[in-house]
Homo-oligomer: A and B are copies of this chain.
Amino acid sequence: VTPLSQEDELIAWLRRRLARAPGGDLAGDDAALLPARPASAAWAATVDSQIAGVHAPPGLDPAVLARRLLAVNLSDLAAVGAAPAYALAALAAPPGYDRRRFLGALVAACARAGVTLAGGDLVRAEVPAATLTLFGSRPAGGAWLRRSAARAGHRLWLGGTVGESAAGRHLLARGARLAGRRVDLPAAPPLAGSLAAAARRAVRRHLAPAPQLALGRALGRLAARRRGGVGGVIDVSDGLALDLARLCRASGVGAEVEVERLPAAPRFHGLAAAIDRDPLELALGGGEDYVLLFTLDPRLAPPAEFRCRRIGAVTAGRRLTMIDRRGRRPLPVVGWDHLDPAGGE
């Protein structure tokens, strides 16, 4: 089996190790499901880090970093259908870092999300790095969603647009800045009118992603009512193609993606051209979209309010295929490899 990325290779190695350890388990969903007795009291738990210079531009406002840290963790809970409940925060930062601004923003964002900040760890480090552990409970009337439940014949759905966040990352690398609620764009490339508006939205989308918790809960209710009807669910964090490959591998299936169905933000193609990027590469491999990718029995559809888009189908076999005007070809498994020294793109 070819590893999808250095990260996946390491996780596969770890899973083999764990299989030999007594009690070992690493199911590989976006959040771990911690069993309890009775099972109704089980928790979903997830951990994610944001490191300055890696996940966020150096010098980013600590409040923006805090909200982004919570958002990416909430997205993992959304992918298992959990309702967020508790957080533990670990903040490592150099002297002079505005920890109060970080923690104040985290507390406020937690309160808005119904999360209780229950503990944490504060340490010194050269580079600001924040790690959040988030616990979610299973909502009444809901079922846990798993990455491994995709079945051949299911339809493949996407909860929102892809590629916009990566366009925002490129703009930040070129000098875009968030100043309060205002986004200052770099001088190059020159952007005006609706393209400048699209660029500002892309930067905001990258720095302040909106996790799809309500969609996750709706899928959890659907899964509880129609056993087997809701298939694999994953949040698109490392790139649509890579996360689809993970979902398919966990479920033992393949998939076909109809490229022209991929939802894009308004003026996305024009923006991609302006920053000299292939829009399809951004959509398939850009990552950090934080939308849910999921499969459903063809007789089911997600609630219309979420405006999900059907982008393809789950197939027997293990192949990943993309379909466009030119025909069918293998889907390149591109995405963000957290362990690739070159940056993963």
Contact = CB atoms under 8 A, between A and B. Distances in A.
Interface string A1-32: 00000010011011001100111111100011
Contact of A107 (B24, B46, B88, B104): B24
A224 to B, nearest CB: 19
A214 interface: no
Interface of A: 7, 10-11, 13-14, 17-18, 21-27, 31-32, 34, 36-38, 41, 43, 45-49, 51, 53-55, 85-86, 88-90, 92, 95, 99-100, 103-104, 107-108, 110-111, 114-127, 129, 131, 133, 135, 137, 338-339, 341
Contacts of A115: 23
A49 B131 contact: yes
Nearest to A7: B122
A338 B114 contact: no
Contacts of A51: 92, 123-125
A55 B92 CA distance: 12
A135 B119 CA distance: 12
A95 B341 CA distance: 6
Contacts of A92: 49, 51, 54, 129
A108 B100 CA distance: 38
Given A13-B103, A24-B107, A34-B86, 15 more contacts: A10-B122, A24-B111, A25-B118, A32-B88, A36-B137, A41-B41, A43-B135, A45-B88, A46-B119, A47-B121, A49-B131, A95-B341, A99-B339, A122-B339, A133-B133
